[in-house]
Chains A and B, each alone.
Chain A
Amino acid sequence: MKKFMDWMSEKFAPKINKFARNPWISSIQEAILAAMPLILIGSFVTLFNIIGEYVSWFPDLSLISNFSFGLLSLCLAYQIPFILMEKKKHRKTAKQAGMAGLSLFLLLIYPMAGDIAGYAAEDDSFTGTEGLTIFLGRLGTEGMLAAILGGLLVGFIMNLFAKHTFFKEDTAMPDFITVWFDTLIPMLLIILIGWIFTFQMEISLFTIINKIFEPFIAVGQSFWGFVLFNFLAFTFLYSFGISTWVLYPVMAAIIFPAIGDNSVAAPGSELFIHTGETVNLFLIGGGGTTLALNIMMLRAKSKRLKVVGRSCIVPSVFNINEPVVFGAPIAFNPILMVPMWIVGLLGPAITYLSMSLGLVPIPTQVFNFWYLPSPIVGYMVTKSFAGVLLVLIIFALSCIIYYPFLKVYDRQEYAKEQESLKKKAV
């Protein structure tokens, strides 16, 4: 066991961390974080639309969601190249990279140029003139993969050209001209790529990208994919001190399109279980379902565990548990890592099964307020008390599993405390 622990902390964890530090990966994560307000506005719409179910005159706020959460991929298309350029220390041309990202993205999602049933500017009426037809959903979660891959491609090309300027160091040209030309070529190249595929060859890169990732998404949506991925991200790696944000780009590519598709799915069609909203049902107290542990720590025998429990209980109620994971500690502490792993496997397993068996409704609306107490989230994302019941059952299970291990650890800590007290007394 010790050998494995050492291997994890000395060889494996640093490798994972290096992966997370990689600018290509971290710019995706940061871009999504920057777009978080949009995701939260969508969540607010879900919240307020509940009022609409009880109060008949309350307006349908869904369109607000379309122009916030529904523009997620469009925003990522700008942000990813922008952030990438900043990380690669080419801040001068970050904005241009963002704009190129927007152009490429709009080309990637395969718009169709044609007549829209007519708009005339003079009298603000519709008569029949040129327009562009875009699938609205692709500006949002449907276009996520296209936005990420397109964004990385733009970043790659812009970065390449930024390193090799067309002008000599001591050029007589003023800076803004050199910047214009140094960005002109790569931007034109990027737009040409999109144009050739979309309008000249009429190949929908959007369809190709999504087809390539279909098997990967299918795995992510399968039972084992769901359980093992969430176990890895929220429990296993976390227990070795690796932040749950490390796998976020991969997670995002699975969960956001899933909830997006669920929200427009025809009634009766099969829904995607693996959404961020689903995952929040078993992350009671945070990754590793630690709320139960934190509550039990309040009545610990050892002083240290009681103090840590008390300090961390408020964040834990709001599903923020870095303090308790590092404080108990759970991380690198085999006695508490084992129950965390058990719960980390059972939680997602029970959640998935309850949904695939139709016992709990699958979430259909974005609701990313993961830091609300879990029973509330349980109702909000499933719009039924079955969700609350699921949360309570998983919570009860986590109590049962953590209890014996905590008892052992507490006894150990208490004995240590008594020892040092005796030593001081001598």
Chain B
Amino acid sequence: MKNVLLVCGTGASSGFMAKNIRKAAKDIGKEVSVKARSDSELDEYIEEIDLLLVGPHLKYMLDDLKKAAEPYNVPVQIISEEAYGSLNGAAVLEQIEKIIEL
């Protein structure tokens, strides 16, 4: 099962997003582990994740996060504002599937 990590400031808003992604995955019978954490905890999870997704309000961190993830071959992407704004789990799931196979 693939592991996806969502990060935002405290892990609070991304927590709601993560829940919706898990639900969308369940609805179409796909298995994926989605966790939401604060970006400050990245180091603890970087070794075990397959994909890192970032909340749109942390766009400024993207380069730093990419640098941190590179040695572990983890792709990093920003969640689109539209998807985050409506907490659209299915849309983000689509975004995930374009990058890694579930």
Which residues of A does B touch, CB under 8 Å? 13-14, 16-18, 20-21, 29-30, 33-34, 36, 86, 238, 241-245, 307-308, 311-312, 314-315, 318, 320-329, 331, 371
Contacts and interface: CB of A to CB of B under 8 A. Distances in A.
B86 A327 contact: yes
Contacts of B40: 29-30, 33-34
B10 interface: yes
Interface in B36-88: 38, 40, 43, 55-61, 63-64, 81-82, 84-88
A321 B16 CA distance: 11
Nearest to A86: B43
B9 A244 contact: yes
B84 to A, nearest CB: 5
B86 A312 contact: yes
B17 A323 contact: yes
A243 B38 CA distance: 13
A33 B88 contact: no
A243 B9 contact: yes
Given A244-B9, A323-B13, A312 B87 contact: yes
Contacts of A320: 12-13, 16
SS class of chain B's interface: helix, strand, loop or mixed? helix
Contact of B55 (A16, A36, A322): A322
B8 interface: yes
22 contacts: A13-B60, A18-B60, A20-B61, A21-B60, A21-B61, A30-B40, A34-B40, A241-B59, A243-B58, A244-B9, A245-B9, A307-B86, A308-B86, A311-B86, A314-B16, A318-B12, A322-B9, A323-B13, A323-B17, A324-B85, A327-B85, A371-B12
A328 B87 CA distance: 12
A218 B40 CA distance: 30
B56 to A, nearest CB: 5
A13 B60 CA distance: 9
A30 B44 CA distance: 13
Give the contact-size bracket for chain B. 20 to 34
SS class of chain A's interface: helix, strand, loop or mixed? helix
Interface of B: 8-10, 12-13, 16-17, 20, 38, 40, 43, 55-61, 63-64, 81-82, 84-88
Contacts of A312: 85-87
A323 B9 CA distance: 13
A114 B42 CA distance: 44
Nearest to B8: A322
Contacts of A321: 13
Given A17-B59, A311-B86, 19 more contacts: A14-B60, A18-B60, A20-B60, A20-B61, A29-B40, A33-B40, A241-B56, A241-B57, A243-B60, A311-B87, A312-B85, A312-B86, A320-B13, A322-B8, A322-B84, A323-B17, A324-B85, A325-B85, A327-B82
Given A17-B60, A242-B57, A322-B55, A311 B88 contact: yes
A33 B59 contact: no
B17 to A, nearest CB: 7
A21 B64 contact: yes
Nearest to A324: B85
A264 B65 CA distance: 41
A242 B55 CA distance: 11
Contacts of B8: 243, 322
A242 B64 CA distance: 16
Contacts of B60: 13-14, 16-18, 20-21, 242-243
Nearest to A19: B60
